[in-house]
Structure 1
Amino acid sequence: MSRRHSVNRPPTPDRDGAERVKEPTLIDIVNIKLTESGEKERLMELVRERLVECGWKDEMRSLCRAFVKNNGRDNVTVDDLVRAITPKGRASIPDSVKAELLQKIRTFLVSVAH
């Protein structure tokens, strides 16, 4: 039995329950390749090291302590702390760390493409 579609409304979806599988985006594919190869964990470790070396981690620790002190230890949740500190933390990551990470990702993608 064939369905006839009205000109005025879109066709009714099939009722067989089959959902369309979402095609992975380029970001999804890159993330999968990084994870499967173990490169993602190596890059995360590199970023951790660089952030410690440049003093970023100590700066974030100080911001957290100041936030807790200003608001009272019993009045601050982890979620409050994350909401308050995350924007400052992201904005203060040195450009050199971002550039190094981007270069490492580019090098990885070139090596995987060949």
Structure 2
Amino acid sequence: MNAQTNSFKSLVDQKLVRSGEKDKVKEMLRTRLVECGWRDELKALCKEVIQSKGLEHITVEQLVLEITPKGRAMVPDTVRAEVLQKIRKVLSDA
């Protein structure tokens, strides 16, 4: 990620916090991910990784590094679109 992208993300985050919508967006995302089964799929993925490597041979940090890209890719497009739409609305109302 470059500095411009980080700066933009920071600006969006600040606007979400100031508007009081950040927690609402996060809760909406959590709810949608549970509803679509993403959370259960991610849990199963974690279990697979732990079983394949062995509990004694993997740290929480290593597990997070391994599953994060896969978890992000598993988020349904409909959920992504809904969150993006909500963020755009907050930004346009600000």
The TM-score normalised by the length of structure 1 is 0.72
Aligned mate of 1:66, from 36, 45, 48: 48
Specify every segment of 5 or more residues in structure 2 that has no aligned partner in the other structure, as ranges: 1-6
Identity %: 49
Q: Which amino acid aligns with 1:92?
A: M
Q: Secondary structure at the match of 1:96?
A: helix
8 A Cα contact 2:19 2:90, kept in partner: no
Which entry has the higher C-alpha Rg, 1 or 2?
A: 1
Q: Which amino acid aligns with 1:111?
A: D
The aligned residue for residue 29 of structure 2 is 47
Distance 1:75 1:39, change over 3 A: same
Distance 1:83 1:68 in 2: 13
Q: Secondary structure at the match of 2:41?
A: helix
The Cα offsets for residues 12-61 of structure 1, whole Å up to 9 and x where unpaired, read as xxxxxxxxxxxxx4443321121122211110010000000000000000
Q: Which runs of 4+ in 1 moved over 6 A?
A: none
Q: CA RMSD in A?
A: 1.2
Distance 1:85 1:27 in 2: 22
Specify every segment of 5 or more residues in structure 1 that has no aligned partner in the other structure, as ranges: 1-24
Say which structure, 1 or 2, has more relative contact order (CA 8 Å, 6+ apart): 2
* Corresponding residue pairs, total: 88
Aligned mate of 1:85, from 67, 72, 77: 67
The aligned residue for residue 14 of structure 1 is none
Q: Which amino acid aligns with 1:43?
A: V
Pick the structure with more helix per residue.
2
